[in-house]
Chains A and B, each alone.
Chain A
Amino acid sequence: MVAIFFRRILVAIPVLLAVASITFFLIKIAPGGPFDADKAVSPQVLKNLNEAYNLDASNWEQYIDYMSNLLRGDLGPSFRFPGRSVTEMIATGLPVTFELAFYAILIALVMGIFSGVLAALKRNTFLDFIPMAVAMIGICVPTFLMGPLLVLIFGINLEILPVSGWGQLPGDKILPSLTLGFAYAAYIARLSRGGMLEVLNQDFIRTARAKGLTERMVVVKHAMQGGLIPVVSFLGPAIAGLLAGSFVVETIFQIPGLGRFYVEAAFNRDYTMILGTTIFFSAMIVFFNLMSDLAALWLNPRSRDAS
């Protein structure tokens, strides 16, 4: 497993460099620039701005300049927010996005695994149909509908939870975490049901039962270990998706996370911010995919023993 880990890390470096290079040239191709505004600036002012941000150099010069700064860990200044560096802005939004993703994944795991395992154990009963129907709704209802619905019920009608904010008012983290967590809970429920059903039919489960183990031991110790491998494999991309895709929830609930910087940077043509956040999210995706692959290897006794 250690060898796999290092091999994958080595592969990740060229992947990230390729992402940075492709993104760099893609944003150069995109029409419009960071200083285009409704009130157009004079050619003289535009020239001054381009000089201030080295945009008057050729694309190749800018590329070499950017990549050499990147290798030194410098993501440059934001074009949209003068006086702020991209690194600083990522560092500001990241803890919030991580915290939101953590609560969401926790909710998703608890709700998803519980209902999925229950559905598998009580196959073809109401305890199977109801959680699976709810899960299907969770998959189908997008967060931009789920969020406002929860706000309408708990924030505006019942007046028991704040409708927006993060860490500003008591309880303001509940609704965004639920909104984001619910969508993933639905996937996890279906995956854990499928995984469990497959494992529950296998011989070693029959053996465990024949040994006289209690049903709880059979499910928790033997069945879940194998049955939840699909969930673990899903977790890597899911966490990466949660981090990069929390934009909608961050916007609905006015949360100062990284997702909003990411999307707004693209709209504003904030070149350095687009590059910085893209490279950062790519690194996150590579990292969490690697972690989930390693966890799945470890959970599977055959591959664990082989390594």
Chain B
Amino acid sequence: MIKKINVLSITLIFLIGCSENISPVDSGLENQIYHHGNGSEPQGIDPHIVTGVPEHHILISLCEGLTIPNPNPSGSDGYIPGTAESWTISDDGKEYIFNLNKNAKWSNGEPVTADDFVWSWKRILTASLGSQYPDMLYYLEGAYEYHNGLIDNFDEVGVKALDNHTLKVNLKNPTPFFIGLLSHYSTWPVHKETVLKHGDIDDRNGEWTRPGNFVCNGPFQLKTWELNNKIVVEKNPHYYDASMVRLNEIHYYPVSNVMTEDRMFRAGQLHLTSSMPTQKCPIYIEEKNPNLKIDPYMGTYFYRINTENETLSDVRVRKALAYSIDRQLLVDKVTQCGQIPAYSFTPPGSNGYQPTTEIPYDPVLAKQLLAEAGYSSDNPFPKLEILFNTNEGHRKVALAIQQMWQNELGIEVELVNQDWKVYLSREMVGDFQISRAGWIGDYEDPNTFLDLMRPNRGNNKTGWENMDFDALVEEANTINDQEKRYELLYEAEKILIDNMPIIPLYTYVRVYQLSPDVKGFNPHILDHHHPKFIYLERD
């Protein structure tokens, strides 16, 4: 009996071992099938409802807005024509005329018209749809009012179809980053007839996004969708630029476990990973792993301070905390993955924006500020609490900062980690002293960061309100001249750092693994990679 089992198992292993073992990456090269690690299972693929990064990766292959990100961005040339082949902007910067590509078609072969954009924008601004990104279009005349029920007639909103291929957009203010906004999926069109066939304009649960039903205007079309397994998209023959598209299929895998994704990459099952296990990053850097990519990314890791807390309402205390953090040490010894110390809220360099703010590492000054605030050995500083969502990376950063504040200022710090939703709800109601935060830009402009800290913004969460800051950001958004605009924003940034309701720690980098077979995949500060430029080729 035992002998039989042994013979059987040896034969089995032998058979498996001898079978020709072609990995998906190898076979993908031959068939132009791109295997894409995609983080988590997407909420859906309705561009007006979903909100996440995995959803973006899929949607950028299925649908297309008026503009697309330039694969080789240089200076202000960050966006190139998408469904709009050209556009003109009025001198006052408030009126845009988009000329749609006459060959642009939906994946069912019907032409894409200007009316399709008008209807799609009406859909996202329909309050009962419950879209989470209507504010992307609040820059249009009447858009905020329509969404909030102040006006009922959509004709009063600043978007009109002049004819089948001409779209006119009127903005409230000159908004220099408006072209960039248009490459965000919330502004992309949906196929009216398909949506209405499966529900009303405001139906969140319509089945129009299922394989077989889904119609959109991107370079690929939806082929299959196996929940929690993979989504397959195939080349759309009706795409106006189909001859440019070299990939035949993209397979998106919702791999939420970073270690699993790393193993899949090493075993040749993926061309691209969505992230990297943090503990492996320094090892791969030391090994000079050629597949490891570290690209600039428009995101800031920071600590929010609850300025309504009695102790932390004193700006000297907030500055003392910020000045006693050695950011260089933090990125060199703790995060260890090419992150850049942050001395401003907006990451420098994005679209030519170079804030001049400084946050010194000066423990002596920090101690002095704390003394000025009235803390001494007779009146010791009360215990502080750092709130963060449960994650090994956040814990390491918090530990390092706990140590720095303990050593430099003699402050006792308690670390509190909470489940993601508990952490969010505590932040929302202001039940924290200091909390970990991160922010990734939605579009390539400092406004995507600075707008956050204006009074009454839901994501401010610090209780800090500064009317001078607010006026500067407001005024900057009415100016068309980028240089003058940036001057105002630099000033706003300075007020923010002087008041320190947040402590910037480091600028994110995008860390991932990429197979050398993948070509046409260039670093992009928002991590937008249009798949029509990507192809597979072995050197």
Contacts and interface: CB of A to CB of B under 8 A. Distances in A.
A38 B302 CA distance: 13
Contacts of A168: 229-230
Interface string A43-66: 111001101100000000000000
A161 B264 contact: no
Most buried by A among B19, B49, B131, B229: B229
Interface string A156-167: 101111111110
A77 B205 contact: yes
Interface stretch (A3-11, A235-243, A249-257, A276-284): A249-257
A93 B428 CA distance: 34
Nearest to A261: B228
Contacts of B228: 92-93, 256-257, 260-261
Contact of B458 (A42, A81, A256, A268): A42
A165 B269 contact: yes
Interface in A139-173: 148, 151-152, 155-156, 158-166, 168-171
B393 interface: no
A240 B42 CA distance: 29
A254 B264 contact: yes
A214 to B, nearest CB: 15
Interface in B331-366: none
B43 A32 contact: no
Most buried by A among B206, B209, B419, B461: B419
Q: Taking chain A's interface residues, is the majority helix, strand, or loop, or is none over half, making it mixed?
A: loop
B227 A92 contact: yes
A48 B421 contact: no
Interface string B394-409: 0000000000000000
Contacts of B128: 48, 51-52
B458 A41 contact: yes
Nearest to A170: B19
Given A39-B459, A89-B227, A160-B21, A44 B267 contact: no
A82 B208 CA distance: 11
Interface in B21-53: 21, 24, 40-41, 43-44, 46, 49, 51
Interface residues of A, number: 58
A83 interface: yes
Interface in B244-295: 253, 255-257, 259-260, 263-264, 266-267, 269
Contacts of B438: 38
Contact of A252 (B49, B257, B425, B458): B257
B134 to A, nearest CB: 7
B204 A42 contact: no
Contact of A48 (B21, B127, B210, B264): B127
Contact of B131 (A45, A80, A264): A45
Nearest 8 A/B pairs, CB to CB:
A32-B421, A256-B228, A256-B229, A40-B458, A48-B130, A32-B425, A49-B130, A36-B424
Interface of A: 30-33, 35-45, 48-49, 51-52, 77, 80-84, 89, 92-93, 148, 151-152, 155-156, 158-166, 168-171, 251-254, 256-257, 260-261, 264, 267-269
Given A83-B210, A251-B256, 19 more contacts: A30-B422, A31-B421, A44-B127, A44-B148, A48-B127, A48-B128, A82-B46, A93-B228, A148-B259, A161-B16, A162-B267, A162-B269, A164-B267, A171-B16, A254-B264, A256-B227, A260-B256, A264-B41, A267-B421
23 contacts: A31-B422, A31-B426, A32-B424, A38-B424, A40-B458, A40-B459, A44-B147, A49-B130, A51-B130, A52-B204, A83-B46, A83-B206, A92-B227, A151-B263, A165-B269, A170-B19, A171-B16, A252-B259, A254-B253, A254-B255, A254-B264, A264-B41, A267-B421
